[in-house]
């Protein structure tokens, strides 16, 4: 908005400040000038018409050859980091732009150093307005620092450009830049802050080269041996052949880590959640995934939080591919804060689908009775269970054959777990 001394307003949001009054005035001045044989009046009328034509042509081609670009130093960052954002305007023509207003859409949660954003509470987005005056064939760069203060999946754009002629008669407007995305991973605690044992942080590892059988995966039958457990008996084959047969299970020798993340911070997940505690829990899950990947262990993630726009729990089975950790961190970056189901139900449903040698690691802010009961039952069935809890107090119940780490809430962001002996 530009104001003259008479408080006349030039609204840059309008397509034009020009109206038919100027044409009518020019015609009237021309007729009067011809009638009075006044060269002055006809000259003024000609100037008005010529200026209007020049202004229209100027505005008509004002956005031709003009581009607006965003370039981020990183498109993936971790919570707490700062990235550099470079905004570039290019004018690839001999015609200058005396004014160019660009309104870009930025995420409201991410602060831009030394700049204020105009927030829109209805969309959770903000307007980033900038004013430019690019000359002929000029390129202008402006650098800003964006604080990655909160995990998430963020969009920048689209950007809208408004410009026109130098007289302010005509204006042009168009979308000038597409949407770009930034993923902010949750904060990852270093191993020194986690203070986990350097050896076997997820529990005792099995001997190298030793095969373990998965009783949930039968691959065949064989004759029964005296050393076989009665649980191995294949009763249908025994009845059919009138001879004892035992099941042959699928062997497994590789240690795997399957993380189960509970995004609920209250015993009843529909009662709401505690944001700070939830973020710490998500960060612990990401830190454990990074630790497993660093130890070259196949790692997966199952969470009772969902992806945006979905009501299904997150489910990624263990893998050690080069992109596995990145996929887990991306899921943790966008996981919704509301639990889709109790974590103990998901744990009981998913455990039978896990390889028998997998370590089931539960990461939760709370360890209520229903969850502890599910963990005890699975441990009693022979599953390797590890519990990481951020509750104020460690579990009061003794969890036999379960590795338990208590990660108390601290005022600062240091997590110092305490191994709970069972």
Range in 260-264, 356-360, 390-394 the model is least confident about? 390-394
Positive or negative CA dihedral for 197, 198, 202, 204? negative
Query: Given the structure tokens 């202008």, which residue do they identify?
Result: 140
Residue 245, pLDDT score: 83
Residues 80, 135: one domain? Answer: yes
Q: Is the pLDDT of residue 415 over 90?
A: no
Residues 181, 223: one domain? Answer: no
Positive or negative CA dihedral for 398, 403, 409, 411? positive
Residues 368, 222: one domain? Answer: no
β-bridge partners, 247 = 221
Range in 13-27, 128-142, 189-203 the model is least confident about? 13-27
6: confidence class by pLDDT, cuts 50, 70, 90: very low
Residues 27, 136: one domain? Answer: yes
Residue 145, pLDDT score: 97
Backbone angles phi, psi at 197, to 5 degrees: -60, 140
Q: Is the pLDDT of residue 162 over 90?
A: yes
137: confidence class by pLDDT, cuts 50, 70, 90: very high
Q: What is the mean pLDDT of the chain?
A: 83
Residues 264, 312: one domain? Answer: yes
Positive or negative CA dihedral for 358, 359, 363, 366? positive
> Per-residue pLDDT tens for 77-113?
999 999 999 999 999 999 999 999 999 999 999 999 9
User: Got the DSSP string for 298-329?
Assistant: -EEEEEEEE-TT--SEEEEEEE--TTHHHHHH
- Residues 135 and 91 sit within 8 Å (Cβ to Cβ): yes
CA angle (176 as vertex; 173, 182 as ends), nearest 5? 140
Judging by beta carbons within 10 Å of its beta carbon (0-12, 13-18, 19+), is residue 19 exposed, middle or buried? exposed
Number of Cβ atoms within 10 Å of the Cβ of 319: 16
Q: CA 346, CA 394: separation in Å to the nearest integer?
A: 22
Residues 114, 85: one domain? Answer: yes
Range in 40-49, 113-122, 132-141 the model is least confident about? 40-49
**27-36, 39-48, 134-143, 165-174 — most confident range:** 134-143
Mean pLDDT of 69-84: 96
Residue 12, pLDDT score: 45
Number of Cβ atoms within 10 Å of the Cβ of 325: 19
Mean pLDDT of 289-318: 91
Residues 180, 57: one domain? Answer: yes
CATH of the domain at 406: 3.40.50
Mean pLDDT of 224-249: 81
Residues 73, 140: one domain? Answer: yes
What is the domain range of residue 110? 1-185
Q: Is the pLDDT of residue 186 over 70?
A: yes
Q: CA 363, CA 388: separation in Å to the nearest integer?
A: 5
Q: CA 287, CA 227: separation in Å to the nearest integer?
A: 43
Q: Is the pLDDT of residue 417 over 90?
A: no
Residues 73, 168: one domain? Answer: yes
Tokens of 180: 């770009």
Residue 303, pLDDT score: 96
Tokens of 369: 């009775």
Positive or negative CA dihedral for 203, 209, 210, 214? positive
Prediction pTM value = 0.77
Q: Name the domain count of the chain.
A: 3
The C-alpha torsion from 304 through 308 and 311 to 317, rounded to 10°, is -50
Residue 30, pLDDT score: 73
Q: Is the pLDDT of residue 410 over 50?
A: no
Residue 24, pLDDT score: 67
Mean pLDDT of 15-36: 67
Backbone angles phi, psi at 109, to 5 degrees: -75, -20
Q: What is the largest CA-CA distance in the chain?
A: 128
Residue 13, pLDDT score: 47
Residues 367, 265: one domain? Answer: yes
3-state DSSP assignment of residue 276: helix
Backbone angles phi, psi at 77, to 5 degrees: -145, 165
Q: Is the pLDDT of residue 139 over 70?
A: yes
Q: Is the pLDDT of residue 2 over 50?
A: no
User: Got the DSSP string for 91-155?
Assistant: E-SSS--S-EEEEEEEETTS-BTT---EEETTTTEEEEEEEE---TT-EEEEEEEEE--S-EEEE
Mean pLDDT of 372-384: 94
Residues 243, 286: one domain? Answer: no
375: confidence class by pLDDT, cuts 50, 70, 90: very high
Pairing of strands 180-185, 256-261: unpaired
β-bridge partners, 362 = 260, 387
The C-alpha torsion from 208 through 212 and 217 to 223, rounded to 10°, is 140
Residue 213, pLDDT score: 60
56: confidence class by pLDDT, cuts 50, 70, 90: confident
275-312 in b/e burial notation, b at 16+ Cβ within 10 A?
Answer: eebbbbbbbbbbbbbbbbbeeebbbbbbbbbbbeeeee
Among residues 370, 372, 361, 358, which one has the least CA distance to residue 216? 358
20: confidence class by pLDDT, cuts 50, 70, 90: low
Last residue of a domain, one of 231, 251, 271: 251
Residues 202, 326: one domain? Answer: yes
Q: Is the pLDDT of residue 63 over 90?
A: yes
CATH of the domain at 99: 2.60.40.10
Residue 95, pLDDT score: 92
Mean pLDDT of 41-61: 79
């Amino acid at each position: 908005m530009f104001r003259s001394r008479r408080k006349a307003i030039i609204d840059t949001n309008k397509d034009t400040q020009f109206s038919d009054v100027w044409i009518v005035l020019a015609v009237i001045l021309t007729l009067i000038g011809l009638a009075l044989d006044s060269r002055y009046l006809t000259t003024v009328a000609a100037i008005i018409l010529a200026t209007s034509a020049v202004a229209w042509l100027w505005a008509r081609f004002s956005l031709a050859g003009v581009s607006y670009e965003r370039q981020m130093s990183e498109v993936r960052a971790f919570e707490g980091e700062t990235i550099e954002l470079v905004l570039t305007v290019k004018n690839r023509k001999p015609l200058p732009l005396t004014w160019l207003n660009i309104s870009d859409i930025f995420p409201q949660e991410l602060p831009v150093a030394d700049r204020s954003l105009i927030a829109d509470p209805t969309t959770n987005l903000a307007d980033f307005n900038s004013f430019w005056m690019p000359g002929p064939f000029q390129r202008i760069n402006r650098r800003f620092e964006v604080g990655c203060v909160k995990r998430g999946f963020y969009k920048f754009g689209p950007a809208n450009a408004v410009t026109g002629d130098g007289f302010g008669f005509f204006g042009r407007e168009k979308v000038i830049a597409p949407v770009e995305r930034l993923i902010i991973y949750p904060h990852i605690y270093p191993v020194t802050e986690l203070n986990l044992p350097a050896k076997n942080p997820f529990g005792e590892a099995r001997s190298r080269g030793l095969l373990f059988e998965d009783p949930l995966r039968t691959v065949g039958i064989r004759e029964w041996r005296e050393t076989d457990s009665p649980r191995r008996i294949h009763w249908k084959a025994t009845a059919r052949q009138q001879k004892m047969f035992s099941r042959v299970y699928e062997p497994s020798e590789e240690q795997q880590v399957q993380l189960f993340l509970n995004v609920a911070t209250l015993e009843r997940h529909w009662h709401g959640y505690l944001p700070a505690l939830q973020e710490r829990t998500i960060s612990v899950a990401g830190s454990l995934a990074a630790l497993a990947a660093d130890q070259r262990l196949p790692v997966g993630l199952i969470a009772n939080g969902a992806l945006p726009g979905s009501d299904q729990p997150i489910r990624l089975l263990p893998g050690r591919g080069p992109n596995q950790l990145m996929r887990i961190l991306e899921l943790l970056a966008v996981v919704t804060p509301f639990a889709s189901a109790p974590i103990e139900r998901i744990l009981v449903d998913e455990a039978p689908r896990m390889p028998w040698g997998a370590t089931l690691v539960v990461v939760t802010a709370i360890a209520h009775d229903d969850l502890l009961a599910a963990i005890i039952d699975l441990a009693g069935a022979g599953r390797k269970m590890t519990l990481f809890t951020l509750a104020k107090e460690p579990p009061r119940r003794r969890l036999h054959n379960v590795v338990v780490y208590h990660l108390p809430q601290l005022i600062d962001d240091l997590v110092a777990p305490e191994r709970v002996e069972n």
